[in-house]
Structure 1
């Protein structure tokens, strides 16, 4: 917060960042907000007295005399400027200067980063030759199963609020649609992989629930969650299973008021924030196969993966050894069928 061309009279912390008031050598008094590269001049004053009085009025007991303590970045910069140049040998290539990057952290599968859905689509076609690929236009790729009873559409560069994946199952190549599903582009890639792989099982083609969803169907779909101790809440309309964590940041929901055969989506598998406004969601219509939903909930309950920790601004340092790549995300697992 120091500067050679100005004097800082007072500083304070406004609950979010550091603020200060000071006067340049040319007599201009200014209110400063923020730290390091985020710092901005917010208000100019006619005089130093006016600036100091207004600063004390805004921040009262939080006001401290003089300039604010140096931030880590300012302290590092000061050390670089005051440290004599080294006469030793230049760093080897393995000692290149780099910013410290936090290592990815291991988290439940529903809390991982979304991952690369484009790469997932490529991998899906390479592992499942029974699906035919065609691209009707630049925005969409379509996967059609050889039975002509399953169809998957992927929307490239889906925007926030759009569905990246749309899935539909039909009774026969010329029959009625049995069920459909959607998935957001923020869905963790390993959970999406489980869904796509489940579509490719032998009992997927032309399959769906032809009768209203019964208690047995709910029990089958939620069995992995029940076994993992996910709490169940039954309301007048909604049936919810939520993660047994303080923030309950994932779950399975069934809307009992959605009519069978409706175009509306009755099942929601979600993660992050709340069920009503999730970070990601897979939604399925009432006739979706409960075995497929069980596959997804198994991954929801037992899957794990990596999430990139938030970057923390640190001083440049010598990286004395080569970076070690993080281990790959664990391979998807298929839920046991009961």
Structure 2
């Protein structure tokens, strides 16, 4: 299979980072309350019209976060919270957080916006509700606060206390994923959420890993380390689909290899 062959990869949290630039373009098209600012060639910023939230995409980094989502109490206040996503993080996870934040910022009332950010559960209850509601419930480590997917391909380590309670600024929630049994430093992606990050934003990212949907990629975007842990099917490109008048049908068999058993999840399952 050629590196530029369009494919559909399941589960999506092992599909690789995807196309960050295309994801940001789609975000601008679907979320008109954000505007683009490019202060440097290597950086694009999305600024919300309230001037209290910013999304930063670093196009060229190899070590620093690829994406940063940050919020401020007011346009002239200090940082309230921040979420960062490494270069290997799937764009679907980043966009899940960005769209949830947008829904809250664009709410007609402050009360409705706060409800979208914090939800009806405490921080720890929300995490537990998400992981225990999976088709195969996650397992909690005996010696830590960490929850792990049963197949060993993802984990979340909640902050050591409620993110809205007073505490050290370094208290963070870490969400990570990658091929089971592989070197985490080399092959896993990591997303971090600082103290005071709204609970619903963390859960939006977590849901992408608890019940992952398939992700569209080019075959070359799926790392070799991940290919034995995913199901890959060829799909038609947008141009080919438009020419044939069809949707995005599968046009090839699954790539040979040891693939995880996988059943796509109904997006409605994400409603919590």
Match of 2:138 among 190, 207, 230: 230
- Greater alpha carbon shift after TM alignment, 281-290 vs 264-273: 264-273
Gaps of 5+ in 1: 1-97, 209-214, 312-322
1:285-300 → structure 2 map (5 Å cutoff) = 285-300=194-209
8 Å contact kept, 2:213–2:265: no
Q: Secondary structure at the match of 1:166?
A: strand
1:114 corresponds in structure 2 to 17
Distance 1:133 1:168 in 2: 15
Q: Cα 1:148–1:261, aligned 2, differ >3 Å: closer, same or farther?
A: farther
Determine whether 1:154 maps to 2:60: no
- Greater alpha carbon shift after TM alignment, 275-284 vs 118-127: 275-284
Match of 1:198 among 100, 104, 121: 100
Determine whether 1:264 maps to 2:170: yes
Residue 242 of structure 1 deviates from its aligned partner by 0.7
8 Å contact kept, 1:165–1:184: yes
- Greater alpha carbon shift after TM alignment, 326-335 vs 141-150: 326-335
Q: Which structure carries more relative contact order (alpha carbon 8 Å, separation 6+)? A: 2
1:243 corresponds in structure 2 to 149
Q: Secondary structure at the match of 1:239?
A: coil
Q: Cα 1:119–1:111, aligned 2, differ >3 Å: closer, same or farther?
A: same
1:81 corresponds in structure 2 to none
Please list the CA deviations of residues 43-80 of structure 1 after superposition, one character each: whole Å capped at 9, or x if unmatched.
xxxxxxxxxxxxxxxxxxxxxxxxxxxxxxxxxxxxxx
Q: Considering only aligned residues, what root-mean-square deviation do their CA atoms show, in Å?
A: 3.8
8 Å contact kept, 1:265–1:283: no
Q: Between Structure 1 and Structure 2, how many residues are aligned?
A: 219
8 Å contact kept, 1:102–1:310: no
Q: Cα 1:196–1:102, aligned 2, differ >3 Å: closer, same or farther?
A: closer
Q: Considering fraction of residues, name the structure with more strand.
A: 1
Distance 2:39 2:6 in 1: 41
Distance 1:260 1:276 in 2: 31
1:282 corresponds in structure 2 to 191
8 Å contact kept, 1:107–1:305: yes
2:214 corresponds in structure 1 to 305
8 Å contact kept, 2:178–2:184: no
Residue 121 of structure 1 deviates from its aligned partner by 0.9
1:325 corresponds in structure 2 to 236
Determine whether 1:185 maps to 2:87: yes
Residue 328 of structure 1 deviates from its aligned partner by 7.9
Q: Cα 1:167–1:230, aligned 2, differ >3 Å: closer, same or farther?
A: same
Q: TM-score of the superposition, structure 1-length normalised? A: 0.55
Please list the CA deviations of residues 129-154 of structure 1 after superposition, one character each: whole Å capped at 9, or x if unmatched.
10111111111111111111111111
1:1-338 → structure 2 map (5 Å cutoff) = 104=7, 106-159=9-62, 161-202=63-104, 216-228=122-134, 229-233=137-141, 235=143, 238-245=144-151, 248-256=152-160, 260=166, 262-264=168-170, 266-272=172-178, 277=185, 279-306=188-215, 308=219, 325=236, 327=248, 333=267, 335-337=270-272
Q: Secondary structure at the match of 1:195?
A: helix
Gaps of 5+ in 2: 115-120, 225-233, 238-247, 251-263
Distance 1:180 1:288 in 2: 7
Q: Cα 1:333–1:170, aligned 2, differ >3 Å: closer, same or farther?
A: farther
